[in-house]
Structure 1
Amino acid sequence: MYMAQSRFGAARTRYESVDLSSRIEAATAHGLVGILFEELIKALDAMAAACRRRDFSQRGARQSRVLAILAGLEGSLDHEQGGEVAASLATIYREARRLTLAAAQENDPEPLLRARAMLAEIASAWNAIG
């Protein structure tokens, strides 16, 4: 039984990787940012679940993913053309990073829920304009 679950999990992971790769290859620039938001929300949820389970290995892996995506989103901002909007987004991304680090330090999912709420609102707005 355990072996069957292990194989299923590995197959599911491969399928998700292929699915994500296909979506990335077919995406527009706007769509790529949407995919980043989707993956960020998933990583925040997974990190929160790992905090609740006290699974430090998974928490660390998900934390790394969250921080990498936040860095990518912040790095993609065009401050010259984006003006106040870009500056506001940078501030939100930095706050989400701070909350992620606080959650990891305390092994507390609450800061992640606050970060998720902020970022989900931005993701929703992003999807609405796309």
Structure 2
Amino acid sequence: MLMDSGYQSYQQVDLDAQAASASPHQLVIMLIDGLLDELERVRGHVTEKRLAEKGAGINRCMNILVGLDSALDIESGSEIAENLHQLYDFCQVELYRASISNDLAKLANVEQVMHNIREGWVNFGQHV
């Protein structure tokens, strides 16, 4: 257990260092990666019936989605921002439903949407 704690501390320091030097574009990808990692942990918690951990994980996913959504500039009238807002909202609803019913298919829906969004951000970054 102590080694896990040390490794987690190392990971957090590494993540903090990456975030400090990341561009806004890279930060979005990092947030999506964190969400996808947490979804995988939530899947394990659901499978093993660790309900408290599942709830905490879904809460972390929701917080990431709220953060991604709050960074959108909806007022500019951008169709992309509006579409992302709707996708983030869909993911939040699916996470809520997954939490209530322990439905792994709902988690898979969120995972698929977020993988697609991530791919878009990565491709966008290659053309900027």
**TM-score range for the pair, normalised by the shorter chain length:** over 0.9
Give the unaligned 5+ runs of structure 2. none
Give the unaligned 5+ runs of structure 1. 1-5
Shift of 1:31: 0.9
Q: 1:108 corresponds to which letter in structure 2?
A: D
TM-score by length of 2: 0.93
Among residues 54, 58, 82, which one is paired with 1:59 in the alignment? 54
Instruction: Tell me: CA distance 1:82–1:25, structure 2 relative to 1, closer, same or farther (3 Å).
Output: farther
TM-score by length of 1: 0.91
CA distance in 1 between counterparts of 2:77 and 2:117 reads 15
Sequence identity percentage:
26
CA distance in 1 between counterparts of 2:11 and 2:104 reads 25
**Are 1:73 and 2:63 matched, yes or no?**
no
Secondary structure of the corresponding residue to residue 78 of structure 2: helix
Give runs of ≥4 in structure 1 deviating > 6 Å: none
CA distance in 2 between counterparts of 1:91 and 1:129 reads 19
Aligned to 2:98: 103
CA distance in 2 between counterparts of 1:118 and 1:112 reads 10
